[in-house]
């Protein structure tokens, strides 16, 4: 009976083991990169909105405070999307005839909300509350980026769990004084390590064990 | 091999057709389920601002039917929630006569009130440093856009073309009761919309206290006189004028 395998088959078999491991590694690496890509996280993706609303103009150029529109950010889990009435506070007089604002006026006339496209969409198995983050010294721009530079708002952060944890494991690297929460130009390098530790103590931020407990976010 | 050798004892093949079918089904399911991330991602429940096609206005967040009073939200304290005197608009006065306040038209075409029959004189909240701080912060969120950093009516939105509101710094508004400012924030006046839904009542009183502080800051000569006038019926006789003055010195120059 003839040999079924050639003599070199031993080497092929050994090499195939190495190649299999290498291929597996490459596949795993590709998987991690795809999972983190903006293709899946929607990071940096500007959404088309029903009205060409510019945050850059309203908060950057006009200096309107975030809380003028997002009134519930300090008291509720949701920062709040303003009702059309808030737009009309100014736009009953300013640009009151502009065709760009017709969807706003139509919404006000017909008492139907403007259907904005949600930019930051957390998965619903994750609990998130704006008010506690603001109260404990996390500023708007820490997560949302410099909104005052965004004509169309995009998602600055990946919103993935590893991103949440990067702060929950090490909150003192990200917090700022209460007076600077809504300052979008805030530079975190302004604080020394001691000041950060002091802030963390003043805010009574809980231990890393508490902040990274499963049920802190998945409740 | 086994099956052919021991045909009699074990007629079934090692892996039956049914098992293969099940395995294939499982494999297909696993592949399909890769796209099923959204089961948990978007759960069949409604959170704030979600769309709900069941209702004509597509809002999942429902509004209270008119006239509904939630438990604990009767708001019967008229002075605190409306800034009006207890008997205003009731008793012998009808709604129409109660609303009558003398008005006039100022130089910029604004219709302004010159008499305040129903408004309560004094802030029902004790004026403390904390209240003024809160008022300053809220003023800079909601009011500064039109009324400007010191209340002279030159806010950024006005510079963009919004009609100029009256300044706080004339005798008419210096003499106006606290309740008038509260009423205007709550219900709007002239071209100013209602801010009742944006600012809770307690914050409106804080803003009123801060507006008083601004008035004193821009009228140092009348400061002493105002303090004396107010001292008679002040809720808190010492702190308002003292803290108001220091507050102004702190914030007068640093506003943008």
Domain boundaries, chain B: 2-32, 88-251
The pLDDT score that the predictor gives to residue B147 is 95
* Mean pLDDT (whole number) for A122-141: 94
Q: Which of residues 173-192 of B touch A (CB under 8 A)?
A: 191
Q: Which of residues 2-21 of B touch A (CB under 8 A)?
A: none
Alpha-helical regions (H) of B74-147 = 78-82, 95-99, 129-138, 144-147
Q: How high does pLDDT run on average in chain B?
A: 78
Structural domain total, chain A: 3
> Does residue A50 form part of some domain?
no
> Does residue A1 form part of some domain?
no
> Does residue A66 form part of some domain?
no
* Mean pLDDT (whole number) for B175-192: 92
Q: Would you place residue A58 in the very low, low, confident or very high pLDDT band (cuts 50, 70, 90)?
A: very high
Do A165 and A206 lie in one domain? The reply is yes
Contact A103, A51 (CB under 8 A): yes
Residue A105, pLDDT above cutoff 80: yes
Residue A66's closest chain B neighbor by CA?
Answer: B141
Interface predicted TM-score of the whole assembly (ipTM), two decimals: 0.86
Do A77 and A101 lie in one domain? The reply is no
Residue A2, pLDDT above cutoff 80: no
Do A195 and A123 lie in one domain? The reply is yes
Sign of the Cα torsion A165, A171, A175, A177 reads positive
> Does residue A25 form part of some domain?
yes
What homologous superfamily does CATH list for B88-251? Cytochrome c-like domain (1.10.760.10)
Do A107 and A91 lie in one domain? The reply is yes
> Does residue A161 form part of some domain?
yes
Candidates A81, A113, A89; CA nearest to B185 is A89
Interface check B48 vs A, CB under 8 A:
yes
> Does residue A189 form part of some domain?
yes
Do A212 and A151 lie in one domain? The reply is yes
Contact B170, B107 (CB under 8 A): no
> Does residue A91 form part of some domain?
yes
> Does residue A49 form part of some domain?
no
* Mean pLDDT (whole number) for A138-160: 93
Q: What is the pLDDT of residues B218-239, one digit of tens each?
A: 987 776 555 555 554 444 433 4
Residue numbers of the domain that contains A160: 55-61+71-81+118-217
Q: What is the pLDDT of residues B62-117, one digit of tens each?
A: 888 988 998 988 888 889 999 988 876 554 444 444 455 677 777 666 777 878 88
A124, B59: Cβ pair inside 8 Å? Answer: no
């Amino acid at each position: 009976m003839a040999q079924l395998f050639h003599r070199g088959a031993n080497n092929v078999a050994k090499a195939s083991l190495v190649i299999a491991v290498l291929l597996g590694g490459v596949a795993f690496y590709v998987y991690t990169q795809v999972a983190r890509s903006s293709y899946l996280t929607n990071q940096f993706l500007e959404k088309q909105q029903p009205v060409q609303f510019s945050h850059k103009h309203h908060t950057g150029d006009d200096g309107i405070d975030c809380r003028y529109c997002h009134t519930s950010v300090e008291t509720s889990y949701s920062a709040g999307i303003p009702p059309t009435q808030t737009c009309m506070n100014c736009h009953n007089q300013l640009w009151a005839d502009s065709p760009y604002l017709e969807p706003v006026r139509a919404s006000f006339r017909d008492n139907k909300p403007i259907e904005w496209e949600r930019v930051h969409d957390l998965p619903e198995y994750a609990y998130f509350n704006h008010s506690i983050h603001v109260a404990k010294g996390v500023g708007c721009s820490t997560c949302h980026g410099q909104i005052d530079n965004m004509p169309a708002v995009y998602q600055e952060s990946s919103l993935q769990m590893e991103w949440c944890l990067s702060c929950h494991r090490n909150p003192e690297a990200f917090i700022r004084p209460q007076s600077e929460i809504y300052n979008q130009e805030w530079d975190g390098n302004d604080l020394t390590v001691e000041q950060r530790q002091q802030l963390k103590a003043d805010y009574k931020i809980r231990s890393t064990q508490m902040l990274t407990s499963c049920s802190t976010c998945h409740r | 091999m086994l099956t052919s050798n021991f045909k009699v004892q074990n007629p079934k093949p090692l892996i039956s057709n049914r098992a293969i079918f099940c395995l294939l089904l499982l494999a297909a399911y696993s592949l399909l389920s890769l796209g099923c991330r959204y089961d948990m991602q978007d759960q069949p429940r409604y959170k704030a601002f979600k769309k709900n096609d069941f209702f004509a206005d597509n809002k999942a967040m429902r509004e209270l039917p008119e006239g509904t009073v939630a438990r604990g939200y009767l708001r019967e304290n008229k002075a605190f929630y409306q800034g009006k005197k207890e008997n205003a608009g009731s008793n012998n006065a009808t709604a129409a006569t109660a609303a009558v306040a003398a008005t006039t038209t100022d130089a910029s075409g604004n219709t302004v009130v010159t008499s305040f029959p129903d408004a309560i004189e004094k802030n029902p909240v004790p004026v403390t440093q904390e209240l003024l701080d809160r008022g300053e912060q809220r003023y800079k969120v909601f009011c500064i856009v039109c009324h400007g950093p010191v209340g002279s009516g030159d806010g950024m939105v006005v510079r963009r073309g919004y009609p100029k509101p009256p300044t706080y710094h004339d005798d008419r508004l210096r003499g106006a009761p606290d309740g008038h400012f509260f009423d205007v924030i709550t219900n709007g006046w002239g071209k100013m919309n209602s801010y009742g839904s944006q600012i809770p009542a307690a914050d409106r009183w804080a803003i009123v206290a801060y507006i008083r502080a601004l008035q004193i800051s821009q009228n140092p000569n009348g400061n002493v006189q105002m303090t004396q006038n107010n001292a008679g019926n002040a809720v808190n006789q010492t702190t308002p004028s003292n803290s108001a003055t220091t507050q102004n010195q702190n914030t007068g120059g640093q506003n943008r």
